[in-house]
A = this chain, B = another copy of it.
Amino acid sequence: MLRIALAQVNTIVGNLTGNVNKILAHLDRARKLDVDLIAFPELAVPGYPPEDLLLKPSFVEANIEALDRIAQATEGLTAIVGYVDRDDDIYNAAAVLDRGEVAGVYHKAYLPNYSVFDEERYFRAGECPLVFQLAGAKIGVNICEDIWYPAGPTKTQALAGAQLVVNVSASPYHAGKGLSRERMLATRAADNVVLMAFCNLVGGQDELVFDGGSIIVDERGTVIARAALFDEDLLVADLDLGAVFRQRLHDPRLRKERALLRAEAVQYVELAPPPVRLKPRTPVSPQVVPHPDARAEVYRAIALGVGDYVRKNGFERVMIGLSGGIDSALTACIAVDALGVDNVTGVFMPSRYSSTESQEDASQLADALGIDFMTIPIDSTFQAYLDMLAEPFAGTQPGVVEENVQARIRGNILMALSNKFGWMVLTTGNKSEMSVGYATLYGDMAGGFAAIKDVPKDLVYALSRYVNEREGRKVIPQHTLDKAPTAELRPNQTDQDTLPPYPVLDGILHAYVEEDRSLEQIAALGYDRATAIEVIRMVDRSEYKRRQAPPGVKITPRAFGKDRRLPITNGYRET
């Protein structure tokens, strides 16, 4: 029996001292649990993704010194720790630490360079899978992307005799990814008749959330242990590596494949036998934390992303402009879950166009959540702007400019409060709005973090209903859920004066933004061609706004930000 622990830790990019201390604390915990082998996530030492910190030689050097400190603390157990290795180039690496030393180093072979990933920008790819021997067991190590390729290192390692493959990952979340990742891991384990231990990062880092959910899969593809989702955890299990031998005898595919393996294709590391244990260990029954339902999963991902962004950047409190509408209501609920009710302030900023219902909806929400609530009327300042601009605007008609001025006054108020009291502003725009630019730059787009930036409007409603169901009461007022969405920047305005109905808008946006479909293909899905053209143009025209938007949590396969890199200057027209 091999006792393994997967340390699903929440690191902070760049905080080498903090990350090392966290790793050392988990080594201590594991040692007390008589663990033989413990794994930490990909790049656990520098945090993931370190981006251009990797271009600083002093940072890479400090990360190697940090690894050495960890190595010295590996008495009594073996650890797999992600860090940046360096010779005349740098590598995304995992070290096998044993008896105070670096016993072996694996370099990631498959470097993702798509979507949010830029690993080819930094790393040289490794060329040789690693297998180490520990107490008679052969164990392979690989890193994140490596496991997604059927012909990748896992296959080589299994053919070279590994009974267990440990994959250390920093796998960014999007809705439903955990389940598809588990399906892949199960297939990989069963195909190669190998035990798989998948140790994932957890936590938020700028636009990304890592969802944890580390798992162990047996050689038939059954999940036998699962760590918490969206939280730190230490997953411990006893593994029967002998079962792998027995199962392999029955699989004729392996013999065929083994004939293709070149002996020199793998580096072997033999570790000294582990210390003799004087008293037998009590077997552990590994936990299998269930998956949350789809809405809870997304909600918790956003809450983790918001909480970590705020805290890891040195803030405690946030502030949200409450309009009485559903976007700011949902954002406030998430903030309370992420940071606690004492750390959220709602600010209602009525103008001449704000309805009394909006004020009631906003204050009801604040009451239901129990958060601080401020009201700052903007009309006298709005009038000062109108007076100040009367001369340059002489002879023009009021319109969207005057609407934007109101939004920007509100942005200024929130930023003034933020600067004065050190509270971070959370913006409240959803993905549908961000897609078509239905937002005021420097107005409602002003703030530090955009909680629901990647949440389409239909999902905003679904998550809002989820909150009320979960709490068993109307935290978000029914009127907020029922009324027609409006920016209230002119009399009797609704979003649908400017935009197609949200179900149509969201359908076109999904096809265009997330699936890269052409106008023809979108029309073929049944959407009105003229509407599709208008939506596509709005998306293309708003790239400049999105480029100046605050970051937000990625929850879809294609978020705005570093996941979608379109030029601002762009003459392509889908017609």
Interface membership of A287, Cβ < 8 A: no
Known: A57-B516, A518-B57. A392 touches B417 (CB 8 A): yes
> A residues engaging B (CB < 8 A)?
12-16, 18, 47, 49-53, 55-59, 62, 113-114, 118, 120-121, 204-206, 308-309, 312-313, 374, 376-378, 380-381, 383-385, 387-389, 391-393, 396, 400-401, 404-405, 408-409, 411-413, 415-417, 419-420, 441-442, 446, 448, 516, 518-521, 544, 547-551, 562, 564-574
Q: Return A417 CB to nearest CB of chain B, in Å.
A: 6
Known: A388-B381, A420-B393. A13 touches B569 (CB 8 A): yes
Compute how far the CA of A308 lies from the CA of B118 in the bound complex, rounded to whole angstroms: 29
Q: A385-B416, A404-B416 are in contact. List 6 more A-B contacts (CB 8 A).
A: A13-B571, A18-B571, A53-B570, A62-B572, A405-B416, A448-B544
Chain B residues in 8 Å Cβ range of A57: 516, 518
Known: A56-B518, A448-B544. A51 touches B567 (CB 8 A): yes
Among B377, B384, B548, B570, point to the contact of A381 (Cβ < 8 A).
Answer: B384
B401 and A376 within 8 A (CB): no
Known: A51-B565, A548-B549. A571 touches B120 (CB 8 A): no
Known: A57-B518, A520-B58. A309 touches B569 (CB 8 A): yes
Compute how far the CA of A11 lies from the CA of B55 in the bound complex, rounded to whole angstroms: 32
Residue of B nearest to A440 (CB): B415
Most buried by B among A62, A521, A550, A569: A569
Number of copies: 2
Could you list 17 examples of A-B contacts with CB < 8 Å?
A13-B567, A15-B572, A18-B571, A52-B564, A55-B516, A57-B516, A59-B572, A121-B565, A206-B568, A206-B569, A313-B544, A376-B391, A383-B384, A385-B412, A401-B419, A401-B420, A408-B408
Known: A401-B416, A415-B404. A569 touches B384 (CB 8 A): no
Chain B residues in 8 Å Cβ range of A573: 14
Known: A381-B385, A548-B548. A312 touches B53 (CB 8 A): no
B442 and A416 within 8 A (CB): no
Chain B residues in 8 Å Cβ range of A519: 58
A565 and B52 within 8 A (CB): yes
A442 and B448 within 8 A (CB): no
A53 and B567 within 8 A (CB): yes
Chain B residues in 8 Å Cβ range of A384: 380-381, 383-384
Q: Return A407 CB to nearest CB of chain B, in Å.
A: 10
A550 and B548 within 8 A (CB): yes
Chain B residues in 8 Å Cβ range of A312: 569, 571
Compute how far the CA of A569 lies from the CA of B521 in the bound complex, rounded to whole angstroms: 39
A400 and B417 within 8 A (CB): no
Known: A389-B413, A416-B389, A518-B58. A50 touches B567 (CB 8 A): yes
Known: A13-B569, A113-B121. A56 touches B516 (CB 8 A): yes
Residue of B nearest to A411 (CB): B442
Q: Return A68 CB to nearest CB of chain B, in Å.
A: 18
Q: Return A47 CB to nearest CB of chain B, in Å.
A: 7
A14 and B570 within 8 A (CB): yes
Compute how far the CA of A118 lies from the CA of B270 in the bound complex, rounded to whole angstroms: 40
Chain B residues in 8 Å Cβ range of A376: 388-389, 391-392
Residue of B nearest to A403 (CB): B419
Compute how far the CA of A521 lies from the CA of B389 in the bound complex, rounded to whole angstroms: 52
Compute how far the CA of A59 lies from the CA of B574 in the bound complex, rounded to whole angstroms: 8
Chain B residues in 8 Å Cβ range of A411: 408, 442
Chain B residues in 8 Å Cβ range of A420: 392-393, 396, 401
B569 and A12 within 8 A (CB): yes
B206 and A567 within 8 A (CB): yes
Q: Return A570 CB to nearest CB of chain B, in Å.
A: 4
A572 and B389 within 8 A (CB): no
Chain B residues in 8 Å Cβ range of A55: 516
